Amino acid sequence: MLDQVPDRVQLRSTPAALVLMGGGARAAYQVGVLKAIAALLREARRGLDPSIARGHNPFPIVVGTSAGAINATALAARADDFQESVAQLVNVWENIHAEHVYRSDLLAVVRTGARWLTLLSLGWLIRRSLRLRPRSLLDNAPLATLIERMCDRQRLQRALERGHLRALAVTASGYGSGRHVTFYQSLDDYRFTARQQRVYVHARIGVEHLLASSAIPFVFPAVPLAVGDAVEHYGDGSMRQINPISPALHMGAQRVLVIGAGQIGQPGVLSQVDPCAYPTLAQIAGHAMSTIFLDALASDIERLEKMNQIAAALSAEQRQALGLRPVEALVIAPSQRLDGIAARFLTCLPRPVRALLDALGAGSGNGAALASYLMFEAPFTRVLVDLGFADTICRSDEVLAFLTERSEPRPAQPPRVVVV
């Protein structure tokens, strides 16, 4: 399909935002989508001035949550060269191993996971357990090194100063206050409407913000962050995230491309799972993870569609009075169940991690959903990259219509409208 892209196109000038959802190792799918977008743009730009063909950033606003926050920051840090930024992400995700994200050796797993499971099962018998208080199932200390390598903070600031990037935003959830906080880096200090339990903080995004945003509950430890004069421990930004698209709209996006990390409204059950059997702890944990990472996006899309229906029945004056404005949205999500794919790669996990998951009842594919969030192993992530690439190429007409406009007039499209 790449050879069908027309030569005479130009990139659209209205501000576009990229929203990358969370999902642990599932975030490799996002990179496949971006890889396809980069390929489509290379073809589409053949008719443009070569001096801008490589460096122009199609997404001046980038918003990320959890593992999507790491991808978003890596992309934003190289906003002066979109092709380079995507190539770097592809290289990382196609060659990743669990040891790059969390300690997967036997001693480390015993110190964290085994101790945690022991406390759950026998803590009531052991007075000393009151002093153990393990913090997480796994130790993600190696992730800080990976983030440092992927995200150049100085280059990110230069991208903002030179106009390649308008804003970067990442989200986290406070365990003490219950607030959902969006940390954003921009030259502009945006004024956000006060929302209950939703806070926006102007900050210089650092490793600590990304570790907090990607701290999957129970799996990775919470991270202390200072907000104003208070220090609070934060965890995964997907928790209590009601409107994942909202930050992009508040920062001026008129078009939004959202990349999910799972099928929207996953139907049916996996063939490896007996639906009549009582669920294992791993199955329950995987279901909870899917609720945290996937349901907010589905709800936000439904809300968008409802607002579209309402707006279609209103006049321009009525839309203005109600604070509605048109926002074009394109959502790309996996065409296949990622837990089904993960079930084929369980043996790729390090043996101590696999044993830990088996203790939770993840054997024989029963815990494939939970494993899919922790499977930072190249055989699995490469399949997700390929899936994201294929899914996007299949929708190349939609993607190109979202990113570019042809020299000839574009057929009128009904506006997509949301409340800001």
Cβ-contact 417, 308 below 8 angstroms: yes
Residue written as token pair 């002066």:
80
Read off the pTM.
0.86
Q: How far apart, in whole angstroms, are the C-alpha atoms of residue 258 and residue 245? A: 8
Q: Classify residue 204 by burial, with Cβ atoms within 10 Å: 0-12, 13-18, 19+.
A: exposed
Cβ-contact 408, 382 below 8 angstroms: no
Mind listing the pLDDT tens digit of every residue in the chain (420 residues)?
Answer: 454 444 456 778 889 999 999 889 999 999 999 999 999 998 877 655 554 445 578 999 999 999 999 999 999 999 999 999 999 999 999 999 999 999 988 777 767 755 555 555 545 445 554 455 667 788 899 999 999 999 999 999 999 999 999 999 999 999 988 889 999 999 988 877 767 678 899 999 999 999 999 999 888 999 999 988 889 999 998 887 778 888 898 898 889 999 988 777 555 445 455 666 777 777 777 777 777 777 677 777 777 777 767 777 888 887 778 777 777 889 999 999 898 899 899 899 998 888 888 877 776 666 788 889 999 999 999 999 999 999 999 999 999 999 987 644 444 444 444 433
Q: Quickly count: other Cβ atoms within 10 Å of residue 402's Cβ.
A: 20
Contacts of 200 (CB under 8 A, 6+ apart): 181, 182, 184, 190, 192, 247, 250
Cα distances (angstroms) measured from residue 54 to each of 43, 49, 158: 11, 10, 17
- In sign, the C-alpha dihedral spanning 200, 202, 208, 209 is positive
Cα distances (angstroms) measured from residue 377 to each of 120, 333, 360, 401: 29, 21, 20, 34
Q: Quickly count: other Cβ atoms within 10 Å of residue 59's Cβ.
A: 26
Q: Which two tokens stand for residue 57?
A: 């950033």
Question: Nearest-5° angle of CA 401, CA 406, CA 407?
Answer: 165
Q: How far apart, in whole angstroms, are the C-alpha atoms of residue 332 and residue 346? A: 26
Residue written as token pair 């190429």:
393
DSSP 3-state of 11 = strand
Measured between its terminal Cα atoms, the distance across the chain in Å is 36
Q: How far apart, in whole angstroms, are the C-alpha atoms of residue 295 and residue 299? A: 6
Comparing C-alpha atoms, which of 280, 271, 340, 393 is closest to residue 26?
Answer: 340
